[in-house]
A = this chain, B = another copy of it.
Amino acid sequence: MKNTFGNSISITLFGESHGAQIGAVLDGIAPGIGIDEEFIRAQLDKRRPVGKIGTARHEADEYQIVSGVFEGKTTGTPLAILIPNTAQHSKDYAATRSLARPGHADYTAYAKYHGYEDYRGGGHFSGRITAALVAAGAIVISALRDKGIEIGTHIRSCGGVADIDFGDIKTDIAKLNMLDFSVLDSEKGEEMKAQIEEAAKDGDSVGGVLETAVIGMPAGVGEPWFDTVEGVLSHALFSVPAVKGVEFGDAFAMVNGRGSDYNDSYYIVRKGHCEAATAAVAISTDYEIKTATNHNGGVNGGITNGMPIVFRCAVKPTPSIFKAQDTVDFINGTDWLVSRCDSE
C-alpha cells in the first residue's frame, strides 16, 4: 500500500503540484459525524503560505467533498476531498527539470520513477499535497472533539527561538488550531518571525520543532508490538518531507538521565481534581490513575496511559532557498551551480 495509510480510518492521497487537482479519500469515518466546513476552511487557510513568510504561492484552497457526506453528515462511506490547482506557475520547469535541488526530492524522484515523474513544482512531493491531509485532518479533529479528545500543536522552537512549554497543559489546546502562528507566548512568536525574515533576507531559511499534545485519550489504546502509539504516529508524521525526527515525551533528553529521574510515578486522583489521594482509596468510577510527571509522553509499552500524548517533530530548515548551491544535472551529468531554488 503506497499512498494509503491507516487501519480503522484510512487516507489515500493523490495529486501533483501542477496537475489538475490534488485530493484525498478518507475512509472508515463513522456515519453521522457532522462536517464543520468553516473549521476545514480555517485549517486550509492556516496551511496556505502568506505574506513574507513561506513560499510564493498564494492560492486559495477551494476544497470540495464529493462523496460520503449527505445532508451535512458523514454517511459511513468514503469521503473524497478534491482541491483544484488554480494558480499554477507559468514558468518553464523543463529548463531546470534535471537539476537536483539540494535537500529536495528531485533526484530521488528521478531514481524511483525513471524520469516519468511530473517534475513541475515538486510534483507529488510538493508541500502542496499536504493541503489534502489538512482537510482530512480537520474532519478527524472535529470527530475526535465530539468524543472529548483534543489535539493541538504549537511551534516549540523556530530559528533558534523557543516558545514556552505546554506546562501542565491546562491551556485550551484546541485554541492553538485557530491561531495563524501557533505559539503559546506571542512575543516569542514575533521573535521567530523576525528570524524567518532575517534568514529570508539572506536568501536562506530556518527550521524548528513542532510540539503536539493529544488530551482526553483513554488509557489502553495502542498495541505492544509494531502498532504502538509511537510507531503509528511517527509513520504518519515522517510523511511530511521536512520532518526528520520524532520524539515522544522527553526522549532525547532522557538518554542522559537515570531511570529514577524519568520513571513517571503513579498516583490516584479523584476525577476532575488535581491533588493525589492521601488516604488509601479504591479504584472506582470516582478515581483515576495519573502520573506525577509525563516524561514518557503518555505512552508506556506502546499503549496510552491516560496522560496527554506529547510528541515533537524536528522540522529541518526549508530546503527552498535563494542562495547559490552546488549541485548536478542528474540526466546530463554536468556539474552545475544552482543560482536559485524555490518550491511548491
Tell yes or no: A283 within 8 A of B by CB: yes
**Chain B: CB-nearest residue to A326:** B265
Q: Name the contact of A260 in the complex, choosing from B20, B73, B204 (C-beta under 8 A).
A: B204
Separation of A281 and B247 alpha carbons in the complex (Å): 42
How near does chain B come to A141, taking the closest CB pair, in angstroms?
19
**Chain B: CB-nearest residue to A206:** B258
How near does chain B come to A178, taking the closest CB pair, in angstroms?
25
| Residue from A114, A117, A251, A333 with most neighbouring chain B CB atoms (10 Å) | A251
Are A117 and B70 CB-contacts (below 8 A) given A111-B219, A160-B256, A259-B319?
Answer: yes
Q: Are B1 and A251 in contact (CB under 8 A)?
A: no
| Residue from A232, A236, A297, A302 with most neighbouring chain B CB atoms (10 Å) | A302
User: Cβ of A22: which chain B residues have Cβ within 8 Å of it?
Assistant: 67
Q: Name the contact of A67 in the complex, choosing from B20, B231, B232 (C-beta under 8 A).
A: B20
Number of interface residues of A (CB under 8 A): 154
In the complex, which residues 262-301 of chain A have their Cβ closer than 8 Å to any Cβ of chain B? Answer: 262-268, 276-277, 280-284, 287, 289, 291-292, 295-297, 299-301
Tell yes or no: A171 within 8 A of B by CB: no
User: Cβ of A5: which chain B residues have Cβ within 8 Å of it?
Assistant: 225-226
**The 5 residue pairs across chains A and B that have the minimum distance between CB atoms:** A105-B301, A245-B251, A245-B247, A111-B220, A31-B116
Are A207 and B257 CB-contacts (below 8 A) given A225-B3, A262-B316, A327-B265?
Answer: yes
Q: Are B328 and A289 in contact (CB under 8 A)?
A: yes
Are A76 and B232 CB-contacts (below 8 A) given A326-B267, A333-B283?
Answer: no
Q: Are B259 and A320 in contact (CB under 8 A)?
A: yes
Separation of A186 and B141 alpha carbons in the complex (Å): 50
Are A1 and B108 CB-contacts (below 8 A) given A116-B74, A207-B256, A328-B267?
Answer: no
Are A111 and B321 CB-contacts (below 8 A) given A1-B7, A255-B316?
Answer: no
Q: Name the contact of A325 in the complex, choosing from B160, B260, B301 (C-beta under 8 A).
A: B260
Q: Name the contact of A333 in the complex, choosing from B157, B241, B268 (C-beta under 8 A).
A: B268
Tell yes or no: A137 within 8 A of B by CB: no
Tell yes or no: A109 within 8 A of B by CB: yes
- In the complex this chain forms, how many copies of it are found? 4
Q: Name the contact of A68 in the complex, choosing from B14, B277, B284, B327 (C-beta under 8 A).
A: B14
Tell yes or no: A100 within 8 A of B by CB: yes
Q: Are B289 and A100 in contact (CB under 8 A)?
A: yes
Q: Are B262 and A111 in contact (CB under 8 A)?
A: no
Q: Are A75 and B123 in contact (CB under 8 A)?
A: yes
Q: Name the contact of A10 in the complex, choosing from B4, B316, B326 (C-beta under 8 A).
A: B4
User: Cβ of A230: which chain B residues have Cβ within 8 Å of it?
Assistant: 238, 243-244
Tell yes or no: A96 within 8 A of B by CB: no
Q: Are A283 and B314 in contact (CB under 8 A)?
A: no
Q: Are A107 and B305 in contact (CB under 8 A)?
A: yes
- Of the candidate stretches A38-46, A49-57, A77-85, the one touching chain B is A77-85
Q: Name the contact of A2 in the complex, choosing from B74, B225, B319 (C-beta under 8 A).
A: B225
How near does chain B come to A72, taking the closest CB pair, in angstroms?
10
User: Cβ of A206: which chain B residues have Cβ within 8 Å of it?
Assistant: 257-259
Separation of A263 and B109 alpha carbons in the complex (Å): 17
- Contact bitstring A315-344, B, C-beta under 8 A = 1, else 0: 111111101011110111111000000000
